[in-house]
Amino acid sequence: MNRRSFFQSTAVLAAGAAFAPSNGLAAAVSIAKEAADPAYKIKNSGIKHTLMGWCWKPMDTLVLAQYAKDIGLVGIEGIDRKYYPDVMKLGLGISLVSGHGFSNGPCNPKFRDEVIAKLTEGINVAADVGAKKVITFTGMKFEGMDRDQAIKDCLDTWKAVLPHAEKKGITLVLEHLNSRDSSHPMKGHPGYFGDDVDFCVDLIKQIGSPNFKLLFDIYHVSIMNGDVIRRMRLHKEYIGHLHTAGNPGRCELDEHQEINYPAVMQAALEIGYHDYVAHEFIPTWHDPILALRHAAMVCDV
């Protein structure tokens, strides 16, 4: 085959592929803002949509929960615990319970007792409300920190609370965070110890418990490591929770960010993940609820 014939045949194949289902999707899903449907409701049950409440402040939590229920989300997280009973009355589950903050983490021995106490409390709350997961973090690096000792301190602290988590049927999920974005206190976390997702997975392997997993935040992984789908496949047995947000900016899942969320969600199904996917982006659209509907549509697999 000569060069011209090769490119002609390749063009024909590419044209055919453009109209063929990709990765099991019946049709391509537009991530353009113009495709947002103000009446969209979740149609598929492949994943469990939920949302991180802090992103929609200052909207009233119960109003937000009602919108989430209408869209078809099945859970909510990142809200004040005082709202748990009313949110649950709406039929939403608590998809994730807060443990301790990302700054005061177990890599620093002075926070060991605080982390153990807060994780223990979080485990008890989760068990009481029927939640199955409690979030944990490594914490921030500190002056004079020895890396090997910090790893040991993390492992020892988590191991101290894991028997209680296992007894209660609760999984601790370790969140990887990016340390590159310094533009906003919630878009990035310079100095965070667990800023390499592969390193976090290694910590999880060293723990060696089915009740200790990875919170695979797609936004943070995209910034720090990239190669999101390959890493999702590589670490599939350790993933216990997913978060979404557009990169750059931690904004909507629209055409102004670089992550192909329909493909990422399809990859989640392919690795056998059918659990919670929490939308954790900071809305910039004039209508933040339309932004949430659009995210649900983009990720509805």
Q: Dump pLDDT digits (tens) for 184-242.
A: 999 999 999 999 999 999 999 999 999 999 999 999 999 999 999 999 999 999 999 99
- For residues 33 and 255, give the distance between their C-alpha atoms in angstroms, rounded to a whole number: 7
The pLDDT value given to residue 248: 97
Q: Band the pLDDT of 29: cuts 50, 70, 90.
A: confident
CB 280 within 8 A of CB 219: yes
Does pTM top 0.85 for this prediction? yes
CB 135 within 8 A of CB 125: no
Question: Residue 187 carries which side chain, given as an amino acid letter?
Answer: K
Mention every residue, 6+ apart, whose C-beta is less than 8 A from residue 5.
none
- With b meaning 16 or more CB within 10 Å and e meaning fewer, what string describes 98-132? bbbebebbbbbeebbebbbebbbebbebbbeeebb
Beta bridge partners of residue 133, listed in sequence order: 171
Q: Could you tell me which residue, 15 or 262, shows the higher pLDDT?
A: 262
Chain segment 127-179, per-residue pLDDT in tens: 999 999 999 999 999 999 999 999 999 999 999 999 999 999 999 999 999 99
Q: Which domains are seen in the chain, by residue range? A: 34-298 (3.20.20.150)
Beta strands 171-175 and 212-217, pairing class? parallel
